[in-house]
Structures are given as C-alpha cells and as structure tokens.
Structure 1
Amino acid sequence: MLEHVLLSVHVLGGIVFVGGSAAATSLFPRYAPAAAGEGRSRSVAVALHRITRGYAVLGLIVPLAGMILAGVQGRTGEIWITISMILTAVAALLLATQIHPRQRQVLADPGDSGRLRLLSMLAGVYNLAWAVVVVLMIVRPGTGQGG
C-alpha cells in the first residue's frame, strides 16, 4: 500500500509540478518583454515566472517521494536510480541558478533578444534532462527488466 501511495505521489507530482515548470520555462521567452515587443505580454511572462518558481518548489515532492520509494523497494543501488537522481539535481540547479534568475532579470530589464534565446536554450536543456529521467524510469537499464 505504501509503495502505491509513494508511486502515485511521485508520478502525479511529476506530471503536475515538473510538467508545469517545464511548460512555464519553455513559454516564458515567447511572452517576455523584449525590445521588439510584437506578440509579447508582460503580464503573461510574470505569471509564467511565478509558475516556474512555485511549481519548482512544489516539485521538490517528486524527488523526495522517488527517493523514499527507491528505499522502500530496495532499489537505491540501481544505476538508473543514480543517474535519475543526478539528472534531477542538474535540472534543479539549472532552474534555481540560471533559468529563474534570468527570467527575473528579463522582467526587470527587457533587453536584447539574445537573453531570450539563451533562456529558450536553457529551458530545452531543463526539459531534456526530465525527458531522459522519464525514459530511464521506463527502461530501467541495468535491472534486466524494462517497464
């Protein structure tokens, strides 16, 4: 029963919170104020910035539930768990030290589109890290069993 609850929290948290932050980081550059302001909306960009922060904080439940679940299942030594935890840490650091602060800078001082291109690239790396984690959880390399 505990495993089912942990797995449910882990998966639902990933879909809602990680998915929400991934979508917000990807959409932010499209709406952020810039020198050429066509199709831009500061209010939407501000909302996406808040979603990025809020869902990232709430998303901490995902690795926490995942680590507890791995411990309960006795899987903490499996390579796919280790790689997933490393990628999760990389994604979290990228969000906390690069994406969110740069979003704040763009909102405070709209400037050249180069900063928005960089934010788009960082969002792509962030989303790629999460995509790899999802694939690892499905394939589970090194366990001799997929799915």
Structure 2
Amino acid sequence: MAIKQMHNVGIVVDDLDETIDFLGEIGLELEGRATIEGEWAGRVTGLGDQHVEVAMMRTPDGHSRLELSRFIRPAVVEDHRNVPVNALGYLRVMFSVDDVDETLERLRKRGAQLVGEVVQYKDIYRLCYIRGPGGLLIGLAQELG
C-alpha cells in the first residue's frame, strides 16, 4: 500500500498565539485549534498523561499543514531551536513566497531575525532563513522567472 499524502508536520512551540499570528503573516491559515488530553492521547505519543494545546495551520493551497503543539503536561524535555542547520533531526520548514524582501520586511516587524543573508541560487531562487517566534527556523524561497 502506498502513502496517500503527507498529512502534517508537527512543531512544538512555547507560545502558540504568537506562532499562529506569525505564520498567519506568512500566509498560513488557522484551520482549527483544540486541547488534547486523556489516556488515548498518551497512548499515541508514548508520553502517558499529557495535556497539549494544538493548532493546525494550513497553507493557502490547502495541501500542506503544520500542527503546532504547546505542551502543558508533561514539560518540554529538550530544546533544539538554537542548533545549527547541520544538526540531526528537525531542521526547518520552508515556504514559497511571492517576494522575499517584502515578506522579510513584514516579518521583521513581528520579531523575525535573518539568520545569514538573502542569497540567489542561479536564476532559480532567492532564499533565506529566519528565526521566528521562540527561535523557530523558517526558510523563505522566492522562485525567479
């Protein structure tokens, strides 16, 4: 049996409201928000008794989703937000945007920090990495031509 589609990518955040607002500025839409707790949830994750606030953010084309989670219980045990881009595990999420410069200008007003610089890859893309809310690593790609 083949995979039908990718449903979502999960990211643990420390401030759900700020992250929802920030990703909304990029263009993602809040699909839904809920509190997840109970024995069934702990069986899925292996964490046992858990209490989590989640928000599902959808890309404008409707094909991709980010599931944002803020753990109330159990407490977060590790923090990978400040590791360099060559660290194992979650690296970053990248979004295609119409205009990197305009997007950067809007996101800087919300606290985004450019990681390196905006670069051009051949005549194909303009690319950059930013740090968003809570140090979340986000890539922006503008297709050229």
TM-score range, shorter chain: under 0.3
Q: What is the TM-score normalised by the length of structure 1? A: 0.23
**Larger strand proportion, structure 1 or 2?**
2
Return the index of the structure with the highest Cα Rg. Answer: 1
**Larger helix proportion, structure 1 or 2?**
1
